Amino acid sequence: MNNSYPTNLSPVFQQAEDLKKQFSSDLAQAASDDLPQLKIKYLGRNGLITSLFNELGNATREEKPKLGKLLNELKNELSQTLETMQKTKVPGTNTASYDVTLPGRTHETGTLHPLTTVLQEICVFFENMGFTVAEGPDIESEYNNFTALNILNNHPARDMHDTFYLDSGGLLRTHTSPVQIRVMQNGKPPFRVIAPGKVYRCDSDLRHSPMFHQVEGFCVGEGIHFGHLKYLLKLFAKKIFGESVKLRFRPSFFPFTEPSAEVDISCVICRGKGCRTCSNSGWIEILGAGMIHPNVLHNVRLDPEHFSGYAFGMGVERIAMLKYGIGDIRLFFENNHDFLVQFK
Ligand code: PHE
């Protein structure tokens, strides 16, 4: 229904509309004991509606039938409303009655995403070991992501299949290692830094997501050696996977570290006996690491004769999957409520 009437209609139309509003506001404030009073005020013999009916005589001949209809409707509406209110109002209150046997409303609290929890756990461990947190941008230059890290032009990691290149000439970083370059370019050793963040690779299946998270870590100074790295990572694995976990360093290759290693933990599912998760080997790879390549130090103007350092990089999803026994990486990104509430 319209809220206001054209001014060429007689004012009683507008009065009817105002009356309706007044009634609603009276009703909202009324306690159940007030309802009979309201009925008299509006519908009684000298009530407000009746006085509007008296105005009918002043209306023009065309208006009369319309106005009569309107007022009758208004009268019915008001008396019906009053009747239902009378039935449902609880004496002494001004709210509708309620069913005390209905279950109450629960207030569900949210929970941290499992990736957030694991990421925090990782960061807290390294911060306790004296590392500071650094971050770099998701959009990187080819130089920081590859060249400065000794990944030459013909290296397969630069292949279009792995890297999302941008029209602007940059790329989405494929690992957090470019943060090593950024930090070392802008500071002075010693460095003891971790760099958590998102990374991107054109890859998607049960174990790969085109966007995932890594934590990079590195330490550069005088006399830093592989033993420091081994000790740190051993403590780290025990912290995340429990005291009984075993560590294995397997020779590997990364262009930016020499020597390089992949680090395995004893399978957390079968405890090393052999199962599907560990492909019956009893071991699961959790990170890549090594001593920072002299070329990389050279690229950030550090003298490899004077400084040495280690670096490592791990996938946060992978660690969370192992820790919680999650078989499909995509579960992290679907925001399925049933999945997420399990991490309360
Ligand atoms: N950047 C490597 C990767 O994404 C991991 C790594 C980091 C390896 C640092 C060695 C040293 O796979």
Q: For residue 217, give the ligand 1 atom closest to its CA.
A: 9
pLDDT tens digits along 149-179: 999 988 887 876 689 999 999 999 999 999 9
179 φ/ψ angles, rounded to the nearest 5 degrees: -65, -30
Give the chain's end-to-end CA distance (angstroms, integer): 50
How far, in Å, is the centroid of ligand 1 from the Cα of 315?
9
> Domain spanning 114-343: which CATH class is it, in words?
alpha beta
CA distance 69 to 82: 20
Q: Give yes or no for a contact between 189 and 307, defined as CB atoms under 8 angstroms apart.
A: yes
> Each residue of 226-240: b (16+ CB within 10 Å) or e?
eebbbebbeebbbbb
pLDDT of residue 35: 84
Could you list the mean pLDDT of each consecutive 10-residue stretch along the chain, which spans 344 residues? 59 87 86 83 89 84 88 90 76 62 85 95 98 98 96 83 91 97 97 98 90 98 98 97 96 97 93 88 95 98 98 97 92 93 90
Q: What is the largest CA-CA distance in the chain?
A: 109
Q: pLDDT tens digit string along 322-338?
A: 999 998 999 999 999 99
| 217, 126 contact by CB (below 8 A) | yes
Look at residue 166 in the predicted model and tell me its pLDDT. Answer: 96
Distance 177 CA to ligand 1 centre (A): 6
Residue carrying the six token digits 């920072």? 292
- Does ligand 1 have an atom closer than 6 angstroms to the CB of 179? no
For residue 150 and ligand 1, the question of a CB distance below 6 A is answered with no
Residue type, 216: E
- The whole-number pLDDT of residue 95 equals 56
Beta carbons of 313 and 195 less than 8 angstroms apart: no
310 lines ligand 1 (CB under 6 A): no
Determine if ligand 1 sits within 6 Å of the CB of residue 178: no
What letter represents residue 238's amino acid? K
pLDDT score of 1: 46
d(CA 200, ligand 1 centre) in Å: 14
Phi then psi for residue 234, to 5 deg, are -65, -45
Return the bridge partners of 216, or none: 195, 313
Domain locations in the chain as residue ranges: 11-97, 114-343
Predicted TM-score (pTM) of this structure? 0.71
* Cβ(23) – ligand 1 distance below 6 Å: no
* H or E segment to which residue 309 belongs: strand 308-315
CB of 318 closer than 6 angstroms to any ligand 1 atom: no
Can you tell me the distance from the alpha carbon of 194 to that of 96, in angstroms, rounded to the nearest whole number? 59
